[in-house]
């Protein structure tokens, strides 16, 4: 495993599969206190972390399984979870109830166990917006950034201007908001609040280290939401059901990878959130069969 230096004593732990879902990159802060941020980089990478140092604590950005799948490997290490996750954090059944519809709970559980090596774990501590973590040479502030999930937290190191942005991941795919609790408006606000910090360096869970053109990268990332909004409003110029829209796949561009049933569900959630906004904006109306743009022929 090649740790990538972020700053002296702060390392990116590259996730399996390039850090793409169902894995994510972790960050190792090897300061007076050793802190591992997220534990979804894959079990082999986590074994190598264990050989380097035993963390004094694990900080979780949010409760998505691809960020906490390997927490169980660190017995005795305190796990700090966002306070909003407390009811479901690390619990296989509770996470399935939170993140999957009833008919896909079993699929969700077998997917995260099989693909990520997920096993249940327990948070020993919780933290809230504005909590600070004094790690010695490094001090991190938790920034609540809901929208992706309700509990999503970023961490900011004010001394170096380094933002650990979690799943505000700056991938060209664009932001992900496929859970019931996800919210496009909150996500936009969260992204703007991160831009306002004017970070000098960003580390994200799936893209890794971003050292340049940071404001532009955030703007492009936000622009994907706008482009999806336009594409979905175009698709309902003809009346379409949600199931038909999911098969057209304007967000994922197909479901032939990983867990197709789950990907279809996430795509449907994301499309529906756009349609709800389009209805509120008066551009689209609901019909018995689905949705159609106002003034368009069915």
Nearer to Zn ion, 5 or 185 (CB): 185
Nearer to Zn ion, 152 or 240 (CB): 152
CB of 98 to Zn ion, least distance (A): 12
List of residues contacting Zn ion (CB under 5 A): 64, 167
Under 8 Å CB-to-CB from 69, ≥6 apart: which residues?
Answer: 22, 39, 40, 112, 116, 117, 118, 119
Nearer to Zn ion, 14 or 82 (CB): 82
Nearer to Zn ion, 131 or 182 (CB): 182
Nearer to Zn ion, 150 or 167 (CB): 167
CB of 166 to Zn ion, least distance (A): 7
CB of 201 to Zn ion, least distance (A): 21
DSSP code per residue over the chain: --PEEEETTEEEEPPGGGG-TT---EEEEESSSEEEE---S-HHHHHHHHHH---SEEE-S---HHHHTTGGGSTTS-EEEEGGGTTTTT-HHHHHHHHS-GGGHHHHHHHHHHHH-------SEEE-TT-EEE-SS-EEEEEE-TTSSTT-EEEEETTTTEEEEET----TT-----STT--HHHHHHHHHHHHHT--SEEEETTTEEE-S-HHHHHHHHHHHHHHHHHHHHHHTTS-B-HHHHHHH-TTTS---SS-HHHHHHHHHHHHHHHHHHHHHTTSEEE-SSSEEETT---
CB of 55 to Zn ion, least distance (A): 21
**Cβ-closest position to Zn ion:** 64
CB of 62 to Zn ion, least distance (A): 6
CB of 64 to Zn ion, least distance (A): 3
Nearer to Zn ion, 42 or 245 (CB): 42
CB of 171 to Zn ion, least distance (A): 12
* Spatial distance between the Cα atoms of 235 and 130, rounded to a whole number of angstroms: 42
């Amino acid at each position: 495993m090649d740790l990538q230096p972020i700053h002296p004593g702060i390392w990116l732990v590259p996730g399996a599969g390039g850090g793409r879902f169902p894995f994510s990159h972790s960050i190792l802060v090897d300061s007076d206190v050793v802190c591992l941020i997220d534990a979804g980089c894959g079990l082999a990478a986590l074994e190598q972390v264990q050989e380097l140092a035993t963390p004094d604590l694990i900080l979780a950005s949010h409760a998505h399984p691809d960020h906490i799948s390997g927490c169980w490997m660190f017995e005795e290490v305190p796990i700090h979870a966002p306070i909003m996750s407390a009811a479901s954090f690390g619990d296989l059944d509770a996470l399935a109830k939170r993140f999957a519809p009833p008919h896909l709970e079993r699929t969700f559980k077998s997917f995260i166990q099989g693909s990520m090596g997920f096993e249940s774990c327990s948070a020993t501590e919780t933290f809230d917006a504005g909590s600070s973590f004094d790690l010695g040479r490094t001090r991190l502030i938790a920034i609540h950034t809901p929208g992706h999930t309700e509990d999503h937290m970023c961490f900011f190191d004010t001394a170096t201007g380094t933002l650990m942005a979690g799943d505000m991941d700056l991938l060209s795919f664009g932001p992900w908001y496929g859970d019931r609790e996800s919210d496009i408006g909150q996500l936009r606000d969260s992204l703007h609040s991160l831009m306002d910090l004017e970070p000098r360096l960003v580390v994200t869970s799936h893209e890794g280290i971003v050292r340049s053109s940071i404001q532009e990268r955030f703007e492009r990332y936000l622009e994907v939401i706008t482009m999806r909004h336009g594409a979905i409003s175009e698709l309902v110029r003809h009346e379409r059901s949600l199931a038909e829209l999911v098969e057209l796949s304007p967000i994922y561009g197909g479901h032939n990878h990983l867990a197709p049933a789950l990907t279809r569900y996430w795509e449907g959630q994301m499309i529906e959130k756009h349609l709800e906004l389009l209805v509120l904006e008066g551009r689209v109306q609901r019909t018995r069969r689905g949705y159609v743009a106002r003034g368009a022929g069915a």
